Amino acid sequence: MIKKFWVLLTICAIAFSSCKREDRDLVQIEDEAIQAFLMNNGLTSKFTKDSLGYYYQVLEEGEGDTLKKHDAAFFFLGMKTLTGESIKATSGMLVNSDVNTFMPNLNMVELGKVYYITPKGLKEVLLKSKYGEKLRVIMPSYLMFGKDGYNTTVTGNTILDLTIDVIKGKNQTEAEDAILQSHLDKQSEEYIKDSEGFYYHIVEQGTGNKVEYGSSVKVAYTGSFLNGQVFDSASKDSPFDVVVTNGYVIKGWVLALQKMNVGGKMKVVFPSYLAYGTNGSGAIPPNTPIQFEIEIL
């Protein structure tokens, strides 16, 4: 009888504990999950909890004042779950952000102000950030996509591990230039910045005729995004016939080709406004900086 009593008491205790655990609200449940994640990965001392409920770590310090709602903010965004599964963001998921392009959130430049950015958690982090700042943020689901998630990309009640890299630039021109400079800092060659905003490196000047506006030349080239992914090319065996005039090729090419002679080779990196601009072209999304290796035959 006593044994049965203790068994019954144990069951009741477990049931009570279970009921008590179920009484926790989502905020508490997710906060405990985040704390466990940080502790298990030795990150507890590196993260600070914000009053809204997310945890953040400043990876690179920014400069100047914190962003305001009316400020334009361009940023790179990495997303993954706490188990390390990467999530590819899309423009539909995040207002002003399309990380399928190299410039992530310029497809809606007119809405580049922080005020328009969603979800709430992302906007709130930006409003406490500075230009040039890079953060890692562990974001509870109720500040991102909530119980419904986002289509099949993010399931409901998913805590996200975010990397937010705020580009050092208060408008599109400044932001793209910062991206180009960051990219070129990793290259071994020395690039020259043209007054029009593109960067070039002359591999060989060439010994033939000077290329001028209106010249007709044959060109071999490789065009790629700044991540190295090739989007177009023409070989020496099947070169591209170019008339160096606006409207025939992108403005960047018109400017860059005139820096060489026939037989010359160059590497050049263009901001989007000297390439395919706000419309993009084929495989090239809108507002995307691109680079070329060009040889004039």
pLDDT in tens, 70-109: 888 888 888 999 999 988 766 555 543 433 333 444 444 4
Which residues make Cβ contacts (< 8 Å) with residue 78, sequence separation at least 6? 86, 162, 163, 164
Tokens of 141: 């689901």
Is the entire prediction scored with pTM above 0.85?
Answer: no
Question: What is the CATH topology of the domain spanning 174-296?
Answer: Chitinase A; domain 3 (3.10.50)
pLDDT of residue 141: 97
pLDDT of residue 156: 93
| Domain ranges in the chain with CATH number 3.10.50.40 | 24-168, 174-296
CA distance 96 to 116: 8
User: Check: CATH 3.10.50.40 for 24-168?
Assistant: yes
pLDDT of residue 103: 40
CA distance 121 to 140: 8
Instruction: Please name the residue that has the structure tokens 């495989």.
Output: 283
Tokens of 66: 């914190």
Whole-angstrom CA distances from 230 to 140, 211, 233, 234, 286 are: 37, 26, 8, 11, 16
pLDDT of residue 78: 86
Residues of the chain with pLDDT under 50: 3-12, 14-16, 19, 95-109
Cα Rg for the chain, rounded, in angstroms?
Answer: 26
pLDDT of residue 49: 98
Whole-angstrom CA distances from 1 to 4, 16, 110 are: 5, 22, 77
pLDDT of residue 119: 87
Which of 291, 289, 292, 47 is CA-nearest to residue 169? 289
Beta strand extents in the chain (DSSP E only): 48-49, 55-60, 75-81, 86-87, 134-139, 160-166, 192-193, 199-204, 216-225, 230-234, 240-243, 265-270, 290-296
**Strand, coil or helix: 251:** helix
pLDDT of residue 7: 43
pLDDT of residue 87: 86
| Residues shown for the chain | 297
Instruction: Please name the residue that has the structure tokens 């580049």.
Output: 112
